[in-house]
């Protein structure tokens, strides 16, 4: 009987110890949250990387004001507001610098190609984002063979179900060109042919590529081929075969 009473006392002490530890943990967490809310306020917002937009435009778009809590604010939501409201902003990185500075770094994009839809040209960045509209291509490369669906400035291009393979092929090609800083040298991209993508490049070459090819590899190969050609050479660069290029002068 005495042994049973001792076990019961130990059991009660164990339960009380667990409750005490839990209560202590909750008190500590509450103190930390209170300290964050009380002491770490946004006093300065620094913006870097912006050229097209002013610092104030970036700050206004993010929706964070001085006096906001530095840790409790949602930086991902703020970044999303910037990219959705400022069409030429492609990426946003938000960091904190204690005790009171919010740092916003933006990466802007450019209109590189244009797709005509219902009499309007939609200007598109290297990531496929529609950044503007115009009555003409405005110096951008012309894309044909892709039908964009319900285009909205600030959104990535979409296409009807039957035309999405062409859209996806375009996005892959644009990424490969953008990563190599080749987009400014592209005059046109044609995707009507289901077996080959045709591209005007450097105002001197017509480049043909197979659908579904590794565009990263193909663009590296294209750069290497062009480097070996003379500056006055013009013609067709046929890249339809793996690891083989045919150049046809004209």
Q: What is the CA radius of gyration of the chain?
A: 29
Please tell me the predicted confidence (pLDDT) of residue 40: 73
> Contact, 47 vs 106, CB < 8 A?
yes
Which CATH number is 113-249's, of 3.40.1130, 3.30.160, 1.10.8, 3.40.50? 3.40.50
Retrieve residue 212's tokens. 């579904």
- For residue 91, the cross-strand partners are 107
* Residue pLDDT, tens place only, 10-21: 555 555 566 667
- What does the alpha-carbon distance between residue 8 and residue 16 come to, in Å, rounded to a whole number? 12
> Crossing angle of helices 164-179/215-228, nearest 10°?
50
Superfamily assignment of 40-108 in CATH? membrane protein fhac (3.10.20.310)
138: left (phi over 0), alpha (psi -120 to 50) or beta: left
Could you state, in order of their start, the residue ranges of all structural domains in the chain? 40-108, 113-249
Please identify every stretch of the chain with a pLDDT value under 50, giving residue numbers as ranges: 2
Tell me if the bond preceding 99 is cis, omega within 30° of 0.
yes
Q: HSE (CB half, 13 Å, CA atoms) of 55? A: 8
DSSP state of 224: H
Q: Do domains 40-108 and 113-249 have the same CATH topology?
A: no
User: How many angstroms separate the Cα of 74 from the Cα of each of 39, 81, 236?
Assistant: 17, 11, 52
Residues in the chain: 250
């Amino acid at each position: 009987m005495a042994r049973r009473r001792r076990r019961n006392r130990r059991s009660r002490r164990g339960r009380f110890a667990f409750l005490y530890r839990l209560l202590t943990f909750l008190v500590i967490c509450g103190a930390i949250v209170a300290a964050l809310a009380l002491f770490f306020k946004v006093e300065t917002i620094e913006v870097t990387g912006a050229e097209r937009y002013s610092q104030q435009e970036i700050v206004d778009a993010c929706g964070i004001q001085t006096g906001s809590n530095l840790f409790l604010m949602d930086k991902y939501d703020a970044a999303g507001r910037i990219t959705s409201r400022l069409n030429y902003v492609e990426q946003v990185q938000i960091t904190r610098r204690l005790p009171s500075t919010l740092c916003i770094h933006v990466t802007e994009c450019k209109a590189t190609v244009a797709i005509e839809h219902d009499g309007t040209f939609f200007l598109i960045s290297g990531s496929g984002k529609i950044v503007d509209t115009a009555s003409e291509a405005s110096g951008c490369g012309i894309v044909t063979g892709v039908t964009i669906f319900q285009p909205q400035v600030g959104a990535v291009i979409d296409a009807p179900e039957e035309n999405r393979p062409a859209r996806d092929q375009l996005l892959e090609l644009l990424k490969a060109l953008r990563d190599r800083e080749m987009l400014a040298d592209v005059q046109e991209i044609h995707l009507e042919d289901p077996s080959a993508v045709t591209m005007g490049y450097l105002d001197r070459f017509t480049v043909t590529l197979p659908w579904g090819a590794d565009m990263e590899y193909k663009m590296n190969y294209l750069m290497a081929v062009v480097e070996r050609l003379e500056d006055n050479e013009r013609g067709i660069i046929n890249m339809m075969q793996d690891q083989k290029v045919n150049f046809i002068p004209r």
